[in-house]
Every structure is written in C-alpha cells, then in structure tokens.
C-alpha cells in the first residue's frame, strides 16, 4: 500500500492518518477536505498533500471516508475507483447498500471518539484498545487496524446497526434527554449528573444523520429501554431492585474491562 486518501480530515480521519504513521506506514497520505481543514492538517503534519476527490481517488490504494454520513453517501455516489474503500460512518446498512457499485468496499466503524472535533484533536492512539468494526474481510485493512492496537470485530451491516443502536445511539439519546430535563437545576447537580450528561455535549449535526439512517433499530432500542424502565419503576419499593443493581454492576464492570 503506497498511497492513502482520507476524505474528511477531522478527528477520526486525522486520527486514522496518525495511527497509520505510528504503525509504520511511511508512504503518502492525501487529504480531501475543505481548504481550511487541509491547510491545518498539512501544518500539523497529519497529511502530506491536499487534492480534490477525483485526483486523490486516482492516486490512492486505500480511500478512507470519514465524513458525516450524508457526505459519505454523496461521495459514494460520485466515487470511481478500483482501490480499497472503507468508511468510518456510525451506521452501516445504508452506506453499504450505496457502496455496492464499488469493487472493493468494506464498511467500517471505529468505536472511538471525543467530544472535541477537528483535526487539531486527532490522536494516533484514539483506536487503541477500542472495538473497530468491519462489515467484511479485507486482509490489508485488518492488518493495519490490528497494528493500531484496536480490537477487530466483523459484523454484517444489519447486525452492526442493531447492536450500536443499544451501545451507542441509545446512550446518546438518554444523556441528551437527561441533560434537557435537568435544565434549570444545574446549581445543585453533582458529579453523577455531570458524568451521565457528558454525551449531551455532542453536536446534533453529527447525530442527525445517524438517527435518520438507523431510525428503526434506535426506535426498537428505545422501546426495550422504556419497558425496562417501567419495570424498574414498578420495583422501586421492592427488594427486587437489588437484583437489578447486581446485574447492572456486573455489566458495568464488564464494560470497563474491555
């Protein structure tokens, strides 16, 4: 692999570039983004060159789409290449369907991120120790992801979207809803409220595309959660709630051991 093109050189795309370099990639990395973003990425040494999409695609062996989902879909509509193409979108079914015309597309989703956006926050170790989902096998790509120190997970697009609805999209909605509910009560809130509302700092423009492309699985996850919350509500004055705490603590410990 001699040349990598990154479309969307922000936090994730920039981190992918830095992770490649740290893992030993010594060839060219091209950035495709807005003029301001690529200038910043060049100044930070994240990319070697900035080109328009058509020129970058013609030169690349691997094309990494790390834009918002709507922009990934737009890029797939015009992209023509025989290179390996992968993405970092948070939903997979719609993206993988749109990419069917490409010969070597592999859907991807690194389960990593920060509240801060932009290439200036890119981190070579962002993916280390975190799950990195691919929707099909691709040895070259898998090799680099494993060299990043990420935990490779293979899931088909439908499985991915159903699972992330619970582990990613539902937590975002819960945090956002709680933060909105706590408006006006901030003066007496302690660390618990701050911890639980951390995700509410995420911008809506990122999540809008996620909700629109994964609405059915998210709706199902919300339904399961609401039903479970009603069970907890019914158990509020009962010792049965102790079992819920025990199960939840075991699950919380398992999440932190990953």
Residues 54 and 146 in one domain: yes
pLDDT in tens, 91-126: 999 999 999 999 999 999 999 987 778 999 999 999
CATH code for the domain of 120: 3.40.50.720
Give tens-digit pLDDT for 131-157.
999 999 999 999 999 999 999 999 999
Predicted confidence (pLDDT) at residue 5 exceeds the cutoff of 90: yes
Categorize the per-residue pLDDT at 206 as very low, low, confident or very high, splitting at 50, 70 and 90.
Answer: confident
pTM, 2 dp: 0.92
User: Which residue, chain included where needed, has tokens 């199902």?
Assistant: 220
Question: Which of these three, 123, 155, 187, is where a domain ends?
Answer: 155
Taking a C-beta distance cutoff of 8 angstroms, is the pair 164, 136 a contact? no
Do 30 and 129 have their domain in common?
Answer: yes
Tens of pLDDT, residue by residue over 53-63, are 999 999 999 99
Query: Are both 17 and 139 inside the same structural domain?
Result: yes
CB 154 within 8 A of CB 141: no
- Domain residues for 242? 158-257
Contacts of 45 (CB under 8 A, 6+ apart): none
Residues 6+ apart with CB under 8 A from 127: 15, 16, 19, 110, 112, 145, 148, 149, 150
Residues 150 and 180 in one domain: no
Instruction: Put residue 149 in one of left, alpha, beta given phi > 0 → left and psi -120 to 50 → alpha.
Output: left
The enclosing domain of 172 has a CATH number of: 1.10.3660.10
Segments in the chain forming alpha helices (H): 11-22, 35-43, 53-59, 69-78, 93-98, 139-147, 157-164, 170-181, 191-196, 204-213, 215-234, 241-257
Question: Would you state the torsion angle of the CA atoms of residues 125, 130, 134, 138, taken in this order, to the nearest 10 degrees?
Answer: 50
């Amino acid at each position: 692999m001699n040349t990598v093109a990154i479309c969307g050189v922000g936090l994730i795309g920039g981190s992918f570039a830095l992770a490649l370099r740290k893992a030993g990639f010594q060839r060219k990395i091209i950035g495709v983004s807005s003029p301001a973003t690529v200038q910043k990425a060049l100044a930070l040494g994240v990319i070697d060159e900035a080109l328009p999409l058509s020129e970058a695609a013609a030169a690349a062996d691997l094309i990494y789409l790390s834009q918002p989902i709507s922009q990934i879909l737009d890029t797939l509509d015009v992209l023509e290449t025989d290179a390996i193409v992968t993405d970092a979108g948070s939903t997979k079914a719609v993206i993988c369907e749109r990419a069917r015309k490409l010969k070597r597309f592999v859907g991807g989703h690194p389960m990593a991120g920060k509240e801060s956006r932009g290439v200036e926050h890119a981190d070579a170790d962002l993916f280390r120790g975190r799950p990195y989902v691919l929707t099909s096998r691709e040895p070259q790509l898998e090799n680099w992801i494993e060299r990043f120190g990420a935990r490779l997970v293979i899931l088909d697009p439908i499985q991915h979207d159903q699972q992330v609805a619970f582990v990613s999209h539902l937590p975002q909605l819960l945090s956002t809803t709680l933060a909105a509910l706590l408006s006006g009560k901030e003066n007496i809130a302690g660390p618990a409220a701050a911890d639980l509302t951390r995700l509410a700092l995420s911008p809506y423009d990122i999540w809008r595309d996620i909700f629109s492309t994964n609405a059915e699985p998210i709706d199902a996850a919300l339904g399961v959660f609401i039903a479970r919350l009603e069970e907890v509500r019914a158990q509020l004055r009962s010792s049965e709630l102790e079992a819920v705490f025990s199960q939840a603590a075991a699950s919380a410990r398992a999440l932190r051991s990953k």
